[in-house]
């Protein structure tokens, strides 16, 4: 039986061409091993006919183990990062309440059926394929008003997309209501009357309840294959990724459930069929853009906070300090832990406050900062306009420096 795919086009030829290129690269690597270190890379998991225009070809990111320089702040959304503004004419978000989280209990499969099969039968009708002029990805229905969730890097700059439910042959128009490159999330709206009969929206779980080793089930459209399900576990928590605009996404869920190009924007589900994350990126060994068992999902609590504003067409505001940071070099008993400032953005909050390259931030508002991730995560939990007090080591001396956080720029300066 020929595999079913919901979009016409050359995805099969593209896959064969990718396989040919990978085979050639592997042959070259085997012939000249001294030239290759097989670096790990992280790719957004959208797919398209033109790799340079798709989510896969742009924004290639060095793997987490190699990432040492982070742009602070930005990245994952935190509740404090919304503008408190109820003016509907404002470009800022109106601080609507977060989408609710529901309790999740493991589904008990019927006799002769697996848990993954039961969850797939329940949830897959709400999973859609999203296609733009440059590529395709996945999305899923979250309410009865025609609201779909996907990745920012799936819709890119499009204002409208094509949407298909796997249970329905029609191509629907989807209007992009809002995007947040800092969390790699987007909202697409379709006519609710066009949703196929019987399709139930997916619900969000509280991602703080997720533990390493929990069941993780992904549903998406890898290489255009309609609503493919894969199962694994939660491999790790609290990872960080680089967002499409270069800032940092915090609290990311790592999974070994197979995720491939085309899975972007699809749901990562727990054993109760509730959404714990939105699949966004995969790590590879540099020779292949396919799954090697390391995938990453934006956590559901980030999604729950960002989506109400995006659904209203508002802009999400993130706090920004305006520094690049890394772990202090030459760690030894005499080297302080903390976040080392490698550069300061001219005219940014850190520059205005007097921070300098070479400073090591060891605490903020009395909370210890053990490394660069701690500082980034703390800034991401604040809102523009918030004042922070940093404890800074400079030339062996400790001092306190106050800064007022600003709105994050559209991309890393």
What does the pLDDT read at residue 75?
A: 35
pLDDT tens digits along 296-313: 999 999 999 899 999 999
What does the pLDDT read at residue 290?
A: 76
What does the pLDDT read at residue 353?
A: 95
pLDDT tens digits along 373-404: 889 889 988 889 999 999 999 998 999 999 99
Q: How confident is the model at residue 188 (pLDDT cuts 50, 70, 90)?
A: very high
pLDDT tens digits along 14-28: 444 544 555 565 566
What does the pLDDT read at residue 335?
A: 55
What does the pLDDT read at residue 119?
A: 96
SS3 of the chain: CCCCECCCCCHHHHHHHHHHHHHHHHHHHHHCHHHCCCCCEEEECCECCCCCCCCCCCCCEECHHHCCCEEECCCCCCHHHCCCCCCCCCCECCCCCCCCCCCCCCCCCCCCCCHHHHHHHHHHHHEEEEECCCCEEEEEECCCCCEEEECHHHHCCCCEEEEEECCCCCCEEEEEEEEECCCCEEEEECCHHHCCCCCCCCCECCHHHCCCCCEEEEEECHHHECCEEEEEEEEEEEEEEECCCCCEEEEEEEECCCCCCCCCCCEEECCCCCEEEEEEEEEECCCCCCCCCCEEEEEHHHHHHHHHHHHCCCECCCEECCEEEECCCCCCCCCCCCEEEEEECCCCHHHHHCCCCCCEEEEECCEECCCHHHHHHHHHCCCCCCEEEEEEEECCEEEEEEEECEECCCCCC
Q: How confident is the model at residue 39 (pLDDT cuts 50, 70, 90)?
A: very low
The highest-confidence range among 9-13, 70-74, 166-170, 309-313, by mean pLDDT, is: 309-313
pLDDT tens digits along 322-357: 998 875 655 444 556 899 999 999 999 999 999 999
Q: How confident is the model at residue 171 (pLDDT cuts 50, 70, 90)?
A: very high
What does the pLDDT read at residue 86?
A: 39
State the catalytic residues.
153, 184, 264
| % of the chain surpassing 70 pLDDT | 74
pLDDT tens digits along 107-140: 989 888 999 999 999 999 999 999 998 889 999 9
pLDDT at 215 over 90: yes
Mean per-residue pLDDT for 82-100?
52
The domains located in the chain, with CATH, are 1-17+39-68+95-314 (2.40.10.120), 319-407 (2.30.42.10)
What does the pLDDT read at residue 92?
A: 52
What does the pLDDT read at residue 372?
A: 84
């Amino acid at each position: 039986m020929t595999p079913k795919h919901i979009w016409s086009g050359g995805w099969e030829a593209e896959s064969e061409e990718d396989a040919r290129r990978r085979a050639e690269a592997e042959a070259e690597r085997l012939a000249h091993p001294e030239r290759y270190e097989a670096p790990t890379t992280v790719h957004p998991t959208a797919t398209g006919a033109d790799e340079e225009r798709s989510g896969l070809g742009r924004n290639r990111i060095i793997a987490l183990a190699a990432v040492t320089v982070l742009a602070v702040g930005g990245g994952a959304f935190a509740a404090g990062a919304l503008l408190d503004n109820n003016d509907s004419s404002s470009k800022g978000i109106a601080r609507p309440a977060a989408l609710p989280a529901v309790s999740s209990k493991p589904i008990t499969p019927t006799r002769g059926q697996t848990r993954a099969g039961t969850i797939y039968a329940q949830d897959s009708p709400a999973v859609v394929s999203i296609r733009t002029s440059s590529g395709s990805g996945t999305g899923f229905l979250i309410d009865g008003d025609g609201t779909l969730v996907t990745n920012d890097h799936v819709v890119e700059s499009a204002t409208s997309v094509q949407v298909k439910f796997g249970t329905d042959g029609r191509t629907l128009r989807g209007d992009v209501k809002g995007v947040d490159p800092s969390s790699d999330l987007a909202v697409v709206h379709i006519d609710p009357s066009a949703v196929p009969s019987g399709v139930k929206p997916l619900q969000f779980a509280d991602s703080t309840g997720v533990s390493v080793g929990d069941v993780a089930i992904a549903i998406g459209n890898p290489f255009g294959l309609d609503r493919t399900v894969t199962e694994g576990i939660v491999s790790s928590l609290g990872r960080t990724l680089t967002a499409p605009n270069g800032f940092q996404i915090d609290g990311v869920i790592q999974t070994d459930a197979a995720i491939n190009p085309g899975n972007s924007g699809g749901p990562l589900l727990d054993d109760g069929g509730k959404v714990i994350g939105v699949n966004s990126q995969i790590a590879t060994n540099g020779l292949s853009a396919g799954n090697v068992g390391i995938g990453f999902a934006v956590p559901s609590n980030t999604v729950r906070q960002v989506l109400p504003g995006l659904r209203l067409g508002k802009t999400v505001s993130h706090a920004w300090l305006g520094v690049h940071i890394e772990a202090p070099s030459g760690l030894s008993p005499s080297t302080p832990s903390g976040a080392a400032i490698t550069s300061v953005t001219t005219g940014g909050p850190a520059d205005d406050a007097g921070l300098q390259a070479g400073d090591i931030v060891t605490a903020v508002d009395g909370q210890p900062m053990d490394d660069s991730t701690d500082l980034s995560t703390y800034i991401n939990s604040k809102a523009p306009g918030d004042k922070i007090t940093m404890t800074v080591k400079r030339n062996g001396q400790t001092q306190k420096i106050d800064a007022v956080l600003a709105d994050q720029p559209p991309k890393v300066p």
